[in-house]
Homo-oligomer: A and B are copies of this chain.
Amino acid sequence: MSPRPDQPSRQRTGRRPGNPETREAILAAARAAFAERGYDATPIRAVAAAAGVDPALVHHYFGAKEELFRAAMAIPIDPAELVPRVLAGGAGEVGERLVRTFLAVWDSPVGAAAVALLRSAVSNQWTARLLREFLTTQILRRVLDQLDLDPAEAPLRGALVATQIAGLAMMRYVIRLEPVASASPDTLAATIGPTVQRYLTGPLEAS
């Protein structure tokens, strides 16, 4: 997944933080560009130009575009690492594993940031666009690519999964509706997993 196979991902996280003001200027420019143009249509050099720095500096501070995107949104997980883990072990139980993986991230210390992002996306149109870009290009596209789905159905399947997962996050962490708020990951994986599984690989409409 990395465009630079000579630089393994462990090393990348040791990237030098750089000048805090320059760094923040780059992140602000990235947020604006990703929200306005979308992830795919935003080249690193446009972000660099908006921040008034050399593109090489953006690469030096943040690495590849997807890492810049995660840094700009303060997203503490790496979908490039997480998604393959969810999909490992065959497509038959991907629904349950996807629910378990999301719960593991949200229930962990970094989960607060994910919930904050969800809150912010709901009240702020700009963050909503960023979250949509993130979902589409960093998570759903990866999942759908690896499952080898009918391209005509794949976008709807991905978006349906997003409705169920986002609603689970909302009811469990934001609205705190019982018994979903305190249910065990096992219960939620067993009950919601089959929904995600059908959205991804099952017949889309009832027969």
Residues of A within 8 A of B (CB): 96, 118-119, 121-123, 128, 131-132, 135-136, 155-156, 159-160, 162-168, 170-172, 174-180, 183, 187, 190-195, 197-199, 204-206
User: Do residues B121 and A177 form an inter-chain contact, with CB atoms below 8 A?
Assistant: no
Contact A170 B159 (CB under 8 A): no
B132→A175 contact, CB < 8 A: yes
Can you offer 17 A-B residue contacts whose CB atoms are under 8 A?
A119-B123, A122-B123, A131-B175, A132-B175, A132-B177, A135-B177, A159-B177, A160-B180, A160-B191, A162-B167, A162-B180, A163-B180, A166-B167, A167-B170, A193-B206, A194-B206, A195-B198
Instruction: Name the B residues within 8 Å of A132 (CB-CB).
Output: 175-177
Q: Are A155 and B178 neighbours in the complex by a CB distance under 8 Å?
A: yes
Complexed CA–CA distance, A206 and B175 (Å)? 27
Q: How far is the CA of A166 from the CA of B176 in the complex (A)?
A: 13
- Chain B residues within 8 Å of A190, by CB: 204-206
Give the contacting residue for A118; candidates B118, B122, B179; CB below 8 A.
B122
A204-B195 Cα distance, complex, nearest whole Å: 10
Contacts of A198 in B (CB 8 A): 194-195
The reply to whether A156 and B118 form a contact with Cβ atoms under 8 Å apart is no
Question: CA separation between A172 and B132, bound complex, in Å?
Answer: 11
Q: Is the CB of B156 within 8 A of A162?
A: no
Residues of B contacting A123 in the complex (Cβ-Cβ under 8 angstroms): 119, 122-123
Do A177 and B136 touch (CB < 8 A)? yes
Nearest chain B residue, comparing its CB with the CB of A193:
B206
Residues from chain B with a CB closer than 8 A to the CB of A206 are 96, 190, 193-194, 197
Contact partner, A156, options B167, B176, B191, B194, Cβ 8 Å: B191
